[in-house]
Structure formats: structure tokens, C-alpha cells
């Protein structure tokens, strides 16, 4: 008797999204309102398995309110670095309850990694990049396992590293959605007022951009809103949103690139 045909297990290693997908979505939703765009993305499954990532900072309520109106079952991921302000944790609970989200996911650093690489808890004071890597970047990477896409709260006006943000981009094979990329500070303030959204309790004290407690300071009048982050360091991003700059193409025939003996 002939041997029964065997079923082969095939592992699909293709990325969930490629740049052409992002380009098509940017074209489709050009000029479409933010809420209408989010409703369509969720209702039509255009982003696949998607979650919103929030720092629960001073501007986070706007994006979360929009997402909740579009679909409150969308998971909300929060990275608790174990160095957060107590006020941020309280604000997280306030917004999640007020907006009716049903899937809250908090991820923390791996205890064994912290014990090995930040035993004293002071790595932020001498190696902020390394601290961000083990306390924020790695935990978020784990939280994104299984996701096809994630939603970011970045805005172009926040810093030079965030200028010209598209609504849709591709990062590591995942779709990254920036619904507020083209919003201005005035747009955010108007939305807060129109919807009577709760404010982060530290904002009134001069904290305009809030991250971990040791690396966040008050912003002085006239300073960039993110000037209070990692003050004194040449650092403006935690590593989650760091832009990727391509290496320049070197012309071997250029005399300037010839070896010197």
C-alpha cells in the first residue's frame, strides 16, 4: 500500500508588512480624520494583530481617547521600568478606567537582567542608554511578540528626531502607526479642552515630557518640551523610537577615501 502523503510544516518567515503596504495605507488615508482612520484600520483589520503602546505621559490621553472611541478592545501596552513616577501609575489607572479599555498589558524588566546589569539601581546615572535598553527597550520588544502592528503616540513637533512622521511606517517587519504624527501642540490642547480629558498630575508642576523619575526634570520657560528628559546628556530618545540613519555610501575612487600609508 502506498505510503500516506506527509503534511509538511512550513514556517512563514515573511514580515507582516513591507514598505509598499505602508505607502498604500498612507495614500488611502491622506486627508482622512484621525478617528475615522483608526475606525477603518480596526474594523477592516488593516493592521492585523495590533496594540497601542502608551507611556501615560502628559499628552497620552489624546491618543488613548481616540483609540478607545474607535475600539476599546484594542490592547494597551505600558512598560513599567520600575523607575516610574507614582503619579504616572495612578494616571494610567485613571485613563484606562475612564476610557473603558478592556485589555491592559503591563510589562516590566526581567528581574535576573536587572540583578546582573543594574544591581545598584543607579545605571541611569552613568549609562542612560544601557538603562533604557534593559528597562524599556527589551521589555517592549517582548510585549510586541505576536503583534503585526503597534500604535505610537509620537508627534512631529516633539523633537528634531521626529520630524516628517508618516502615519504609517514599517519597522522590523511590523506596521507602526503614528495617528498623531501631524498634530500640533495647539491641536492637542484643543482636544483636551473639547473632551475634558484628565491631565497628568505632574504637568502643572512643570513636567512637560515625563519618563522615568530619575531622568525627568521640570522644563523651564522657553525650553523644548523634551528638554527635561535626560538633562545633561546628549540623548533625546529612549531607544524605542530612535531613527535609523543609513550609512553613507563610500566611493572608493574618491581620493579622500584612499588609504594613507
Residues forming the active site = 238
Q: How far apart are CA 96 and CA 65, in angstroms?
A: 9
Q: How far apart are CA 228 and CA 207, in angstroms?
A: 7
Residues paired with 79 in a beta bridge = 107
For residues 78 and 51, the answer to whether their CB atoms sit within 8 Å is no
Q: How far apart are CA 239 and CA 132, in angstroms?
A: 7
Concatenate the DSSP letters of all residues of 194-237 into one string. Answer: HHTPPPPTTGGGT--S--BGGGB-PPPTTS-TTTTBSTTSS---
Give just the sign of the alpha carbon dihedral 35, 36, 40, 43. Answer: positive
Concatenate the DSSP letters of all residues of 98-125 into one string. Answer: HHT-S-EEEE---HHHHHHH-TTS-GGG
Provide the total of helices (H) and of strands (E) in the chain, helices listed first: 8, 6
Residue 98's nearest CA partner among 196, 202, 239 is: 196
Q: How far apart are CA 191 and CA 197, in angstroms?
A: 8
Amino acid at each position: 500500500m502506498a505510503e500516506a502523503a506527509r503534511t509538511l510544516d512550513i514556517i512563514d518567515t515573511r514580515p507582516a508588512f513591507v514598505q509598499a503596504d505602508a505607502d498604500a495605507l498612507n495614500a488611502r488615508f491622506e486627508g482622512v480624520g484621525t478617528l475615522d482612520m483608526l475606525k477603518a484600520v480596526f474594523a477592516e483589520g488593516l493592521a492585523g494583530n495590533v496594540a497601542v503602546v502608551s507611556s501615560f505621559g502628559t499628552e497620552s490621553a489624546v491618543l488613548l481617547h481616540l483609540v478607545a472611541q474607535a475600539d476599546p478592545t484594542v490592547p494597551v501596552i505600558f512598560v513599567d521600568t520600575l523607575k516610574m513616577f507614582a503619579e504616572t501609575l495612578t494616571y494610567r489607572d485613571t485613563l484606562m478606567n475612564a476610557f473603558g479599555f478592556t485589555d491592559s498589558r503591563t510589562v516590566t524588566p526581567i528581574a535576573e537582567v536587572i540583578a546582573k546589569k543594574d544591581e545598584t539601581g543607579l545605571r541611569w546615572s552613568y549609562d542612560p542608554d544601557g538603562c533604557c535598553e534593559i528597562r524599556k527597550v527589551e521589555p517592549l520588544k517582548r510585549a510586541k511578540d505576536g503583534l503585526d502592528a503597534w500604535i505610537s503616540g509620537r508627534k512631529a513637533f516633539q523633537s528634531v528626531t521626529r520630524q516628517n512622521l508618516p502615519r504609517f511606517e514599517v519597522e522590523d517587519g511590523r506596521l507602526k502607526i503614528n495617528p498623531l504624527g501631524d498634530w500640533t501642540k495647539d491641536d492637542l490642547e484643543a482636544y483636551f479642552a473639547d473632551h475634558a480629558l484628565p491631565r497628568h498630575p505632574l504637568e502643572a508642576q512643570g513636567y512637560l515630557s515625563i519618563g522615568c523619575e530619575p531622568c525627568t526634570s521640570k522644563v523651564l520657560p522657553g525650553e523644548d518640551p523634551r528638554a527635561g528628559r535626560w538633562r545633561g546628556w546628549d540623548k533625546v530618545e529612549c531607544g524605542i523610537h530612535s531613527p535609523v540613519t543609513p550609512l553613507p555610501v563610500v566611493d572608493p575612487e574618491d581620493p579622500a577615501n584612499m588609504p594613507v600609508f
